Amino acid sequence: MSDNSNVDDKSLSLAKELVVALEANESDKANHLISAIAEHNDAGIFKEVGKITRGLHDKLVSFESDLGVSDIDESEIHDAKLRLSYVIEKTSEAADQTLTIIESFMPSIDRQGKESESLINEWQKFTGKELSADEFRCLAKRVTDYLNESNALNADYKAGLNEIIVAQGFQDITGQIIKKVINLVQEVEDSLVRVIKCTGGEKSTRKITSSIDELEGPVVPSLKTNEFVSNQDEVDDLLSSLGF
């Protein structure tokens, strides 16, 4: 920076004048000189703000340069997009799974509902001694079929309801992913706040530290590396290799 020597000379001469003014007890002049020195330094701060703003801008637009404004880099923004896409995928998967199971139950629930209604009528006729022997044999067979079907369906319903319960796990997985993206947004905000602080004349020396959790959270398939296991079998293999 070619301006540097001039800047220093000017600072020095202002400082000397300030000492003289203070020794002569000329407080008005001294205050004026202090303001002059401060303004002089502000010029440097504005230059710095310009650099940081440019740096942040370049980063947000191209994700290519790393000027030390923050720890956010291209891959984190890209990761955030993939994470959010994964949230859409998981929520739609859970909704589809739940609806498919419910839809598969509907026909048998309808059929059984109608059959039980009809059986109640027939049973009332039977208790009122309105049924012939043949009609009763027919009713007995229908009751047997109904009970057998109910029994079989009960197991299906229970299995399906358990699948629906497990499908709700999407809320935990997607919640964790969204928390991570919120942290990233927070980091971008912190960087912008730092720029605003600089333009306010207060040069922040605070290092922007990553607020992203140390823990990795749920694995998003498109972001997976071989540092991660991809399923329960791999967990089991790893643990058994450790003597589990």
Q: Which residues bind another protein (CB under 8 A)?
A: 158, 162, 165-166, 168-173, 175-176, 213, 215-219, 227-232, 235, 238-239, 242, 244
Q: Residue 92 CB, nearest distance to another protein (Å)? A: 14
Instruction: Kindly report the number of other CB atoms within 10 A of residue 39's CB atom.
Output: 9
Q: Considering the complex, what minimum distance in angstroms separates the CB of residue 156 from another protein?
A: 14
Distance CA 71, CA 193 (A): 14
Distance CA 230, CA 218 (A): 11
In one-letter notation, the amino acid at residue 93 is: E
Q: Could you tell me the two tokens for 45?
A: 């701060």
User: Can you read off the two tokens belonging to residue 127?
Assistant: 């208790």
Residue 154 Cβ vs another protein, minimum distance, rounded to whole Å? 13
Q: Which is nearer to another protein, 43 or 165 (CB)?
A: 165
Nearer to another protein by Cβ, of 20 and 235: the residue is 235
Buried/exposed 217-236: b ≥16 CB within 10 Å, e otherwise: eebbeeeeeeeeeeeeeeee
In the bound complex, what is the minimum distance in angstroms from residue 158's beta carbon to another protein? 8
Which lies closer to another protein via its Cβ, residue 56 or residue 94?
A: 94
Nearer to another protein, 5 or 232 (CB): 232
